[in-house]
Structure 1
Amino acid sequence: MATADPATAAPVATAEPAPPADAVTATHPATVEPTPPGEPLVPLHRNRDFLLLWGGSAVSLLGSTATTIAYPLLVLALTGSPFAAGLAGFVALLPGLLLPLPAGALVDRWPRRRLMIWCDALRALGAAAIAVAAALHVLGLPLVLAVSFAEGALTVFHGLAAHAAVPNVVPPSQLSLALSRNEARGRAAVMVGTPLGGVLFGLGRAVPFLADALSYLVSLTGLLFIRKEFEAERSARTDGMGAQVREGLSWLWRHPFLRTSTLLVAGSNLMFRALFLVAIVLATAVGASSAGVGLMVGFAGGGGVLGSLAAPWCARKVSLGALVIGANWAWAVLMAVIALSRDPFTLTTAYAAMWFVGPLWNVALGSYQLGITPDRLRGRVLAAMSTLSNGALPIGSLLGGLLLDSVGARDAALALAGWMVLIAGAASLARSVRATPGPPAR
């Protein structure tokens, strides 16, 4: 599930549960089609359709991450109002809170590749509209807000469809590896795209949005050349949208491990969202300069990339239950190290280590979830998990600010460490987590 922006800074920012290799190889045959007998297994780096999907998404992610920093800079330049910049950020995030459940139902109903093509085309049109209006000096806040909301809504659809499509593009034995590549792609986009957005904006207000429009066209072109369909054959649906959304929610709730894991992700997301602001304030308190704070965030992104590359190996060596429990305890310990750190080096190292752990859980949990979820339900189950886990993000933002105002940076970090101890303890006590699950009967 899904993905992390620099403001979120959460190693597990989307509920993309997954397991170790044993859970992947135990995938239900009706869920993920195996490689036909006698047909050689194509290495992932030679899988043409996966490379087109991965590469196009990498380019569009880079463009989108660049505009993540360009949007507030643009609004500040237009209005001079921090409130307006915050409003633009809120509008961009709003679709991620409102739309996943109905979007998941539509992703399971409509052809996923065609849906992604339309999303890329419309996102390119929106970004181009901003670029043209900025170049002609006719850009106003209403257009920025409208495009920001529309782009956010289209990204919800595109992201759900892309994630649900992966098991139809790669064989079951390569699912964990494919998800680790996707995870690394997202982390690298944050590392490179954020400073790139600032550089492009410095060249001209229209430049980052023009680059974003072109990045969507690259993704669209890649999708046009993919041969495989992104969904299994479906029967006609006669039930309504509400019934389809409930079906996805009930399927998730009937699987204790996925249900518990989603709630654990929500708990850790709350902590990481609050930590982003707390870590910045704490870094300055222990002597880090503004450049040092930037390096801290950059090293954290590097930790996430390394964790993504290590995730397939970890999935083969560590059971799913042990990985979930271990990840939460690792975060609790590292959070305590951050709270007690007295110098920028210790703080930066611990913060990067927290980002390293995130992909280990994301990839393992995501492989398991995709492996056991029927293709006809993948969009809805992903949407349900995303809604539940990411609903904690805005609460975490408020919590971080409240803690800093009331008790200061160090005590705020200690409070977040205590919260993670509670989450890790809950993971350790949960029977559904301790017993590494195989594919549940459907």
Structure 2
Amino acid sequence: MHSLSRNGPFLRLMAGRLITNAGDSLYYIAAMWLVYSLTGSSFYTGLAGFLTLLPGAFQFLAGPLVDRLSIRRVLVTTQVIQGVLVLAIPLAHYTGHLTVWFVLVVMPILSALNQLVYPAQIVALPRLVADDELVAANSAFSFAYQGVDFVFNAVGGLIVAFFGAVALFLADSVTFAAAALLFFSVRVPPAEDTTETTGSPVQNYLTDLREGIAALRNSPLFMLIVGAVVANFAFGGAFAVFPAYADTLGDSAAYGFLLASLSGGMLVGAIAASSVDHFPIGRLLVVSYAASGALWVAAILAPSLSLTVALIALASVPIGATNVLIMTLVQTGMPERLVGRVTSVLTSMATVATPLGALLGGAAADVYGTQPVMLATGASFLFVAFYVTALPTLRRLGPVGDVEFGVTAGAE
């Protein structure tokens, strides 16, 4: 970690991640609360969650592009476009044209641009740091991500309560401009194991895409997708009803505190990941998701807001740690030139159920209330623990540094 503190390009990339994640947190909190305040309906917040999360299911399409395009150009361009888009919300408000449908159009466009940012950052890390620093680098990036979420989720609800959601969008545009400048200052070396291509751009793109899918299918990571789909389906529902659930516990401030507890727990888990990377990850997955499920259920049944916030934070700690370790598996177990497309395919397949969960969760909350939807998330974590336990290939996975996928760069 000490050498990372002297790595200028890594530090500037992480600073850019800090700032752009701050922007993401602000517009997501503001948009979800704005939709709820405009409609008073969990169905519409569920629809907003569905539209915002849906682009994540297509992140696999971004992988081949990220593996071949200039990482710096991808990062800078996406920040500039996002900065312009978030200004559309206050402009519509001040001209009297702000409607829920306007917000529902802007949110998925912003989310679609983010599908390029995440795999681009993941691809950049192995090119900027040594292999034995990857777990620490990923932990630092997760710390940046969750740390920003923790801070801005905590204050975001308060800012909305005092100044309104529209004001957040004005501040948000500044964060994207600052991130663009930082990303522009980072030079990311090209991949070392590049191969010559002779076909058309479309043929090369499709070949790269098929190669990424094949590499994932031939690794143990593929079996994790089933558990992730179930967990993410329920998690999407929870995110969709968070505004209405917070409304039953307090107000927009309660919304901010609940989101902050979730991010704060994941932040602690991300920091702890490098301390547990020597344990077999298969066993860690079982213990982590079992503990998270039990704590989440206890949080929703808790009699007070303060206890709910504390238990959700505790339930999120194991998830934060395992997320870091799983991503490190991709970076160390796959050939360098496949990391971008494998990351994007894995993310797409793992999150494909999240937008559907948001849509159905919001509709279910309007009929049955928010508590059953929130309880389903805890049950999904328990399912993942049982699922990994039932599959010897996953249960017996060793420490992340010892796992070898046996996938070659040219495997089909």
TM range (shorter): 0.7 to 0.9
Q: Report if the CA contact (8 A) 2:193-2:336 is conserved.
A: no
Residue 30 of structure 1 is matched in structure 2 by none
Displacement after TM superposition at 1:48 (Å): 0.8
Q: Aligned pair 1:59/2:31, yes or no?
A: no
Quote the offset at 1:165 in angstroms: 1.3
Please give the alpha-carbon distance, in whole angstroms, between the structure 2 residues aligned to 1:60 and 1:111. 19
Cα gap change, 1:72 to 1:415, in 2 (>3 Å): closer
- Is 1:46 aligned with 2:6? yes
Give the Å deviation of 1:302: 2.1
Aligned runs of 1:97-112 on 2, under 5 Å?
97=57, 99-112=58-71
Match of 1:430 among 379, 384, 391: 391
Question: Structure 2 length normalisation: TM-score?
Answer: 0.82
- CA distance in 2 between counterparts of 1:143 and 1:401 reads 19
* Counterpart residue number, 1:174: 133
Please state whether the residue corresponding to 2:277 is helix, strand or coil. helix
CA distance in 2, matches of 1:200, 1:341: 26
Q: Supply the RMSD in Å over aligned alpha carbons.
A: 3.5
Question: Which of 342, 349, 360 lines up with 2:321 in the alignment?
Answer: 360
CA displacement at 1:337 relative to structure 2: 3.1
Q: How far apart, CA to CA, are the structure 2 residues paired with 1:161 and 1:68?
A: 21
Give the structure 1 partner of residue 195 of structure 2. Answer: 235
8 Å contact kept, 1:53–1:219: no
Give % identity.
Answer: 25
CA shift in 2, pair 1:414/1:207, >3 Å? closer
Question: Which stretch shows the higher mean deviation, 332-341 or 361-370?
Answer: 332-341
Runs (5+) with no aligned partner, structure 2:
408-412
| Alignment match, 1:24 | none
Partner of 2:276, secondary structure, is helix
Structure 1 CA distance, aligned partners of 2:117 and 2:258? 31
Contact 1:100 1:386 in 2 (8 A): yes
Q: Shift of the alpha carbon at 1:132?
A: 4.7
1:197 and 1:208 in contact (8 A); partners too: no
Q: In the alignment, is the contact (CA less than 8 A) between 2:49 and 2:355 conserved in 1?
A: no
Letter in 1 for 2:133: Q
* Residues 25-424 of structure 1: pairs in structure 2 closer than 5 A: 43-72=3-32, 89-97=49-57, 99-132=58-91, 134-135=93-94, 144=103, 146-194=105-153, 195-196=155-156, 199=159, 203=163, 207-229=167-189, 231-232=191-192, 234-237=194-197, 238=199, 239-255=203-219, 257-275=220-238, 288-290=249-251, 294-316=256-278, 318-338=279-299, 341-344=302-305, 346-398=307-359, 400=361, 417-424=378-385
Q: Relative to total residues, which structure has the larger helix share, 1 or 2?
A: 2
The 3 A distance-change label for structure 1 pair 409 and 74 is: closer
C-alpha deviation, 1:208, in angstroms: 2.6
1:64, CA displacement in angstroms? 2.1
Deviation per CA, 1:32-85: give whole Å up to 9, x if none. xxxxxxxxx9621221111101111211111221111333555678x7686777
What secondary structure, in the 3-state scheme, does the structure 1 residue paired with 2:186 have? coil
Distance in 1 (alpha carbons) for counterparts of 2:320 and 2:226: 17
Cα separation, partners in 2 of 1:92 and 1:201, compared to 1, 3 Å: farther
Q: Which runs of 5+ in 1 are unaligned?
A: 1-40
Q: 1:387 to 1:404 in 2, by over 3 A?
A: same
* Contact map agreement 1:135 1:206 (CA 8 A) in 2: no
Give, in angstroms, the shift of residue 198 of structure 1. 5.9
Matched length:
396
The answer to whether the 8 A contact 2:123-2:339 is kept is: yes
> Is residue 45–residue 241 contact of structure 2 (8 Å, CA) maintained in 1?
no
Change (3 A) 1:425 1:150: closer
Q: How far did residue 121 of structure 1 move?
A: 1.9
* Separation (CA, whole Å) in 2 of partners of 1:266 and 1:181: 26
Change (3 A) 1:436 1:314: same
What is the SS of the residue equivalent to 1:381? Answer: helix
Q: Distance in 2 between matches of 1:215 and 1:117?
A: 12
